[in-house]
A and B are shown apart, each in its own frame.
Chain A
């Protein structure tokens, strides 16, 4: 019974119904500020949207393609620095307020170009070698930014104009999140997405069947890098200050991995769900367990990964590969005579 409901939901999620429900949710979120909100709510909203975007993009390369990227935050950093450099140094921008929107796609494009350059060598590596190469890229980029002092401000960092607009940020990130998740939904259904999954399951087999694996991997990597770069640019603008140590934080990648894993690797709706759950946990736990909250959150994460390695959406009917899934399966069998 449960399994059938779950299967139906899964089919709905992949079908047009899933996209419809997603757009309905977006519409509700778009109207939400009209019922009277505070700047804090808008800010929290935009932070959640950012996490959803990051998790979804990480999932594209880490979940769907199966290339576990431990340095994905490098694209976030590149986006942030392109934004920082453009708004503080470029004479091409029309004004601080609108120049931000001009610089935003450039942040993404720079990250995508970097993904192309770094992906060509690293995506040839398999399994943990790719993960480690990306981690190395991430750390190297932090040092490069530190050294390129005339451009990046070195360890001193860059001050961006403090033009904060929480309402604008909310809508900007809402639109970007809507777009990103819709793109993921479409990729998952498309032949492109099926090819990515084929690469994840058996790369040599996929190549034998005529899939140009290099092209597919690079494209997925560039798409994931583009949106991550855009979000990085946005973050730099919103935080009004960047230096190598606040931009290139390892935990940002860890968060992306955690959110994707919690929600369900390789699924469309898992990473957004995981992002929301983790954000709520972080803020709620933060409020209740002042002082030991990081410990509590850490233990929770370990438990989730131990018992739910396929994530919340991986709990579906046949999820016999996880201990919790097996447990649930046994309970279900007993309930259905």
Chain B
């Protein structure tokens, strides 16, 4: 102990503080003081605040081009969904320039230039690219990146420069609790994901519900919404459990729920979680009358993975090609799907459809505003009340599309069929699901 104290006492000496000559210390101090004094006298440097769009400058106006920017993952962890997003934006872009003849702003036609960069799924990169899009590419408007967390980073920057950002791939409710004026989302917010399904199940006689969800932003919003809607429709909540991301086993939660015997099981997470829920329910002979699982059932891969056990599983969906929505631009949802498949060689996912709808909403708002400035377009977005191939779009004050009901699908005989909401449904709900041993 004593040696340690001695060590400490001699530390400054050994760190070299006292070895430095006094003269050098003095010079150092003077230089620092002089530098500080110099700093105090200097005025604040001027940063070019000019982030006005290229269109408002002369050459832009002559070319009649509206420039729209987006940072969307092409590589990194969101590369798959990012590609759907890019192709969704691309579908709109080719249509608006080649078929529609450009955006009509107060009688004048503008071609659209879409500047897209790869954000690599990285928040630093997305920030740099959005900054680049605004201050170097001078875009007029922005479309959103893929995922809630990247939209968090990107929208703070568009808000700072007072640029409109319309997005279709960030469903987390916390995006719209920040008081941003320039962020608009066409997709149904996460809180409403289970609304259609729970309403329908309550009408069919379900009395109780148990909820399990992954502890990340999006599933949390889904589960909080599910509790709210359960209350609204008179379903008793018998249990709420969370589990961590990339969970490998959910049998503990399912065993607990088996004791509670709920009519409805709600599971929120990712694709693999859906498989886990179905498998462990079967293993433990947990027999809810309906299973509602957020991500997974609407993906044909689920039926491939778990086969007949996927029967009767219900899943919320943002959009399906079989839904009965239509507009004058892309026609019906099915016609949009055919157009998309002809162009990209694969059927559209709902991420692709909502990306096209995102761009379309911005397009229609610009036309309704008849101007390109942020304030006019914002007003037009807030006033918007339309129906598209993707569903109704009507933004509330926070920028959420609160009017669009979430669809629900059910796996019936190996097919994914829309069962809610009523006007979009193509099949009747099968309820209650038989017990595992009776299948």
Which residue on A lies nearest to B155, using beta carbons? A162
How many chain A residues have a CB neighbour from B under 8 Å?
49
Q: How far does the alpha carbon of A166 sit from the alpha carbon of B49 in the complex, in Å? A: 11
B76's closest neighbor in chain A, by CB? A294
Q: Which residues of chain A have a CB within 8 Å of any CB of chain B?
A: 16, 23, 27, 30, 33-34, 36-40, 42-44, 47, 143, 146, 149, 154-157, 159, 162, 164, 166-167, 186, 189-192, 195, 212, 215, 238-241, 243, 245-246, 249, 283, 286, 290-291, 293-294
Q: In the A-B complex, list the 5 residue pairs whose CB atoms are closest, starting with the nearest.
A: A190-B16, A155-B216, A241-B152, A33-B45, A162-B156
Q: Is the CB of A192 within 8 A of B16?
A: yes
Q: Can you give 18 A-B contacts (C-beta < 8 A)? A: A23-B31, A33-B47, A38-B47, A156-B172, A157-B149, A157-B152, A162-B180, A167-B44, A167-B47, A190-B15, A192-B15, A192-B16, A238-B127, A243-B149, A243-B216, A245-B216, A286-B118, A291-B75
Given A40-B132, A164-B160: A212 touches B149 (CB 8 Å cut-off): no
B14 CB within 8 Å of chain A: yes
A156 with B14, Cβ < 8 A, contacts A40-B135, A43-B128, A240-B156 known:
no
Min CB–CB distance A84 → chain B (angstroms) = 12
Q: Is the CB of A164 within 8 A of B215?
A: no
Of A36, A47, A157, which one neighbours B128 at CB under 8 angstroms?
A47
Q: Is B46 an interface residue (CB 8 A)?
A: yes
Q: Bound complex: CA of A212 vs CA of B15, how far in Å?
A: 13
User: For chain B residues 329-370, which have a beta carbon within 8 Å of chain A?
Assistant: none
Please tell me if the beta carbons of B178 and A239 are within 8 angstroms of each other in the complex. Answer: no
User: Given A159-B178, A239-B127 in contact, is the A215-B217 Cβ separation under 8 Å?
Assistant: no
Known contacts: A38-B135, A155-B217, A167-B47. The answer to whether A44 contacts B16 by CB under 8 A is no
Q: Which residues of B contact A (CB under 8 A)?
A: 3-4, 7, 14-16, 19, 24, 31, 35, 39, 42, 44-48, 51, 74-76, 117-118, 120, 122-124, 127-128, 131-132, 135-136, 149, 152-153, 156-157, 159-160, 172, 174, 177-178, 180, 214-217, 220-221, 244-245
Known contacts A39-B47, A164-B160; A44 and B128 CB within 8 A of each other: yes
**Would you call B14 and A246 a contact (CB within 8 A)?**
no
Find out whether the CB atom of A155 lies under 8 angstroms from the CB atom of B245: yes
Are B160 and A162 touching (Cβ within 8 A)? yes
Whether the pair A34, B45 counts as a contact (CB closer than 8 A) is yes
Are A239 and B118 neighbours in the complex by a CB distance under 8 Å? no
**Complex contacts, A143 vs chain B, CB 8 Å:** 244
Closest to B75 in A: A294
B172 contacts which chain A residues (CB < 8 A)? 156
- In the assembled complex, the Cα of A254 lies from the Cα of B135 at a distance in Å of 30
Contact B48 A215, beta carbon cutoff 8 Å: no
Contact B178 A162 (CB under 8 A): yes
Inter-subunit contact B215/A155 (CB<8 Å): yes
B179 — nearest CB in chain A belongs to which residue?
A162
| Minimum Cβ distance to chain A for residue B175 (Å) | 9
- Cβ–Cβ contact B47 & A166, under 8 A: yes
User: In the complex, A42→B75 CA distance in Å?
Assistant: 26
